[in-house]
Structure 1
């Protein structure tokens, strides 16, 4: 049985998300808020990373601390909007490897096609956190995770700013083993496949351009 998505309820998340949704927020402000929210998302998405003991010498003497086990993390950005979350994640875990998946959604049929795929060679030994600001229909996210699994990943988290119930349901059907971490579970999708109330097109607002 699929687990319910993890929805962040911290006051800072709710405050920053409200400002992010505001259509009067500038491109620079949108980028900054996205980066700040990605740090908070990363904190939750990495909660279950394994730790191993490590002997160190603290200023007051020897002690046993803890550090991450194994090869740690790979962040996987779904282009183009996933890059808006990537910088903040790397601020928190600068040693992580990074993969990129380019997906294009047909605005009429909502079908997804791939135009770019590049992943580190040691993905099987890492927890992969797949990044996209929006989980709308779920088709892009599910397609990306299928490709990540084909590259050998077994421990996968999907992190997004907003999710729609329809997207969550699709992801749980296609990939019930993947944890979903989001800042908000919104009401629904509109007739064009956009999240309501949402925040508009995340890529357009991040980069000040229109994805054609």
Structure 2
């Protein structure tokens, strides 16, 4: 029996290849940023697979036709600051018309509990499918806190996208938000005593922005 039935591991060969390149400690900041953007675009393709369509009348150069187009309100991407912005950029390459929200959370280094310092969302977030993005779902506390705030703001359709996660973080999300589907490139072995994913890829925010 699948312990995490709401989790999709995107096993596409290109995703797995680029994730391996991303993990390498010798990768430069510029290369790391480029790989995150490419992975984000591929993940966006997977997470939007079930978007509803409707027919609209258009004219091709040869004749009129009824053609499929996205139905209703479009997406809202919500980035968990700051590292989530690295994934956000790639997703907006694929869906440039999406609305964008931000949740600012930092993890207390002693307690590992998330502390919120910023929240800005579209007014109609309750009418949109919301995709929350953060490179790492580690302890799961920040992700769970962000989703809780989104639900308080009216969001009803929520998915979560990350590059990497671990069973500990998935259990926290499952316990707090069993209705939220999670898309990831890999489920790694475990967290270490500092709350880092092992084997992981280090601190995604520091590697994206070159701050360490």
2:28 is the alignment partner of 1:20: no
8 Å contact kept, 1:5–1:179: yes
Q: Mean alpha-carbon deviation: is it higher for 44-53 or for 129-138?
A: 44-53
Question: Does the 8 Å contact 2:4/2:170 carry over to 1?
Answer: no
1:60 Cα deviation (Å)?
2.8
**Whole-angstrom distance in 2 between the partners of 1:137 and 1:89:** 24
Partner of 1:106: 108
TM-aligned CA deviation for residue 2 of structure 1: 6.5
Q: Which deviations, in whole Å up to 9, do the C-alpha atoms of 1:45-64 show, x marking residues without a partner?
A: 11111111112112231221
| Aligned residue-pair number | 210
Note the residue ranges of structure 1 that are not aligned, 5 or more in a row: none
Deviations 1:163-188 (A, max 9, x none): 11111111011001100000111111
Secondary structure, in 3 states, of the residue corresponding to 1:24? coil
How far is the alpha carbon of 1:199 from its aligned partner? 0.3
What is the TM-score with the length of structure 2 in the denominator? 0.96
Offset from partner CA, 1:115-158 (integer Å, 9 cap, x none): 00000101011100000000001000000000111111100010
CA distance in 2, matches of 1:68, 1:154: 19
Match of 1:82 in 2: 84
5+ residue gaps, structure 2, are none
Answering whether residue 202 of structure 2 is matched by residue 203 of structure 1, we say no
Contact in 1 for aligned 2:107/2:113 (Cα 8 Å): yes
Counterpart for residue 148 of structure 1:
150
Tell me the distance in 2 between the aligned counterparts of 1:52 and 1:118: 30
CA RMSD of aligned residues (A): 1.2
Q: CA deviation at 1:4?
A: 3.3
